[in-house]
Copies of this chain bind each other. A is one copy, B any other.
Amino acid sequence: MPVGTAASVKGIPQDTLEELGAQIILGNTYHLYLRPGVETVRKMGGLHGFMSWDRAILTDSGGFQVFSLSELRKLNEDGVTFRSHLDGSSHFFSPESAMAAQIGLGADIIMAFDECTEYPAERARVRESMELTARWAARSKDYFEEHKQEVPWGQASGVGRQEKQLPHHCFAPVRNDNDLRDSGRSTDRWATDGHRLAPGSTQSLFGIVQGGMDRELRKESAERTVEIGFPGYAIGGLSVGEPREATREMVEWTVEHLPANRPRYVMGVGTPEEIVEYASLGVDMMDCVLPTRAARHGLLFTSEGKISIKQARYAQDAGPLDPNCPCRVCQRYSRAYLRHLYASNEVLAQVLNTIHNLSFYLDTMQRVRHAISLGEESRFLSSVWSRPQT
């Protein structure tokens, strides 16, 4: 899942994401809660209407970013008081308020409010944190069940609902309806949006497993989360500084304690090799800022290994970034041009680099799905590992 923190995958128009084949993107509740605010998004019909994106969206609970970004956070059984990283204003997130925010944002999949346990941590601290997450999961579910009908689906207004009638790469004909902004509350505009149109349809709330790097606590957390019961399960508290082998061990261990007939989601991973590996362990969903953030720093993933496009060796390299990549960047531009854009601080560097990295990630997962459908996971996995990585 490409990460679109503030209702935008940085630098990439939504039609480009569609062309890249993104089926679902992620938004960050903490950021959206602070700016533009839940009420604004709710009034626009939720994130789908606000950002004009009809495919799936997942929002995180806000918990992870409250812990990592905000100043002066204070945690107790009830929830977390924190200060905005934007203006220092004081706010409070609890399982209930985090659910209210995510219902207002209206993503398809929302996440229980959890505490992301720091690494490293003493076992007693990990247990205490894991148990808090379990209690918060139950409160998250309780609040969600009581309020899930408040999701603002069907209230979309304004622009872009006609867009689906045309291929996105075509210019729509000129229209002249000055009234558009004042009307447009009819739900029939959502006619092709799938489940969001169905009467009484609601979001899916996923639970989150914590438990640090402790097998026993991971198992207990998984069991307690499954006991509460969710339509999907995430493995949180990884990619927090632990060795990669520990991540892998926890993923492999925890996945086995989650129902195989529910989506299993590892939060915040990983490299192309890692997402292939975790998929082979039974993971269905992953999100990571790596492809988009690395792109902004000129680090590009290719079938021949990683490339740091800022290097002078590419200054007169007329070849494509990745000769095996079908993306619009590799089909049109040379390494020399991409290197020039990066060296000149041109915004187009970020745009094109991000398009390529997302294409590489999404194509990787496409190939994983294909391999799974052929029953060839292990062979595919070994072919990935044999790739040269610089």
B174 contacts A332, CB within 8 Å? no
Q: Is A140 an interface residue (CB 8 A)?
A: no
Q: Is A201 an interface residue (CB 8 A)?
A: no
B327 contacts A35, CB within 8 Å? no
Interface of chain A residues 303 through 358 with chain B (CB within 8 A): 315-320, 323-328, 330-337, 340-341, 343-344, 346-348, 350-352, 355
Q: Please tell me which one of the listed residues B8, B159, B323 contacts residue A175 in the complex, with CB atoms under 8 A apart.
A: B323
Residue with the highest number of chain B CB atoms closer than 10 Å, among A157, A323, A334: A334
Report whether over half of chain A's contact residues are helix, strand or loop; otherwise say mixed.
Answer: loop
Cα–Cα distance between A47 and B143 once the two chains are bound (Å): 60
Q: Is A137 an interface residue (CB 8 A)?
A: no
A346 contacts B6, CB within 8 Å? yes
Copies in the complex: 2
Cα–Cα distance between A173 and B173 once the two chains are bound (Å): 30
Q: Contacts A174-B326, A316-B40, A320-B181 hold; do A15 and B351 have CB atoms under 8 A apart?
A: no
Q: Contacts A13-B351, A337-B7, A340-B36 hold; do A332 and B160 have CB atoms under 8 A apart?
A: yes
A159 contacts B318, CB within 8 Å? yes
B171 contacts A44, CB within 8 Å? no
Q: Contacts A8-B341, A159-B318, A181-B323 hold; do A15 and B328 have CB atoms under 8 A apart?
A: yes
Chain B residues with CB under 8 A of A344: 6, 8, 35-36
> Contact size class for A?
35 or more
Cα–Cα distance between A315 and B175 once the two chains are bound (Å): 23
A318 contacts B7, CB within 8 Å? no
Q: Is A11 an interface residue (CB 8 A)?
A: yes
Q: Contacts A36-B315, A40-B315 hold; do A10 and B163 have CB atoms under 8 A apart?
A: no
Q: Is A272 an interface residue (CB 8 A)?
A: no
Cα–Cα distance between A317 and B14 once the two chains are bound (Å): 19
Q: Contacts A19-B171, A157-B318, A326-B173 hold; do A52 and B350 have CB atoms under 8 A apart?
A: no
| Least distance between A121 CB and chain B CB atoms (Å) | 33
| Least distance between A153 CB and chain B CB atoms (Å) | 15
Chain B residues with CB under 8 A of A180: 319-320, 323
Q: Contacts A52-B332, A163-B331 hold; do A323 and B11 have CB atoms under 8 A apart?
A: no
Chain B residues with CB under 8 A of A325: 174
Q: Contacts A159-B331, A331-B171, A337-B7 hold; do A43 and B324 have CB atoms under 8 A apart?
A: no
Chain B residues with CB under 8 A of A177: 323
Known contacts A52-B333, A159-B331; 10 additional CB pairs below 8 A are A8-B346, A36-B340, A44-B334, A158-B320, A171-B328, A175-B326, A181-B319, A181-B335, A182-B319, A347-B347
A residues whose Cβ falls under 8 Å from a Cβ of B: 6-8, 10-15, 19, 35-36, 40, 43-44, 49-52, 157-160, 162-163, 167-169, 171-178, 180-182, 184, 315-320, 323-328, 330-337, 340-341, 343-344, 346-348, 350-352, 355
24 A-B residue pairs with Cβ-Cβ distance under 8 Å, sorted by A, are A6-B340, A8-B348, A10-B346, A13-B352, A14-B332, A15-B328, A35-B343, A35-B344, A36-B340, A40-B315, A52-B332, A52-B337, A158-B319, A158-B334, A159-B318, A159-B319, A159-B330, A159-B332, A159-B334, A171-B331, A173-B326, A174-B324, A175-B326, A176-B324
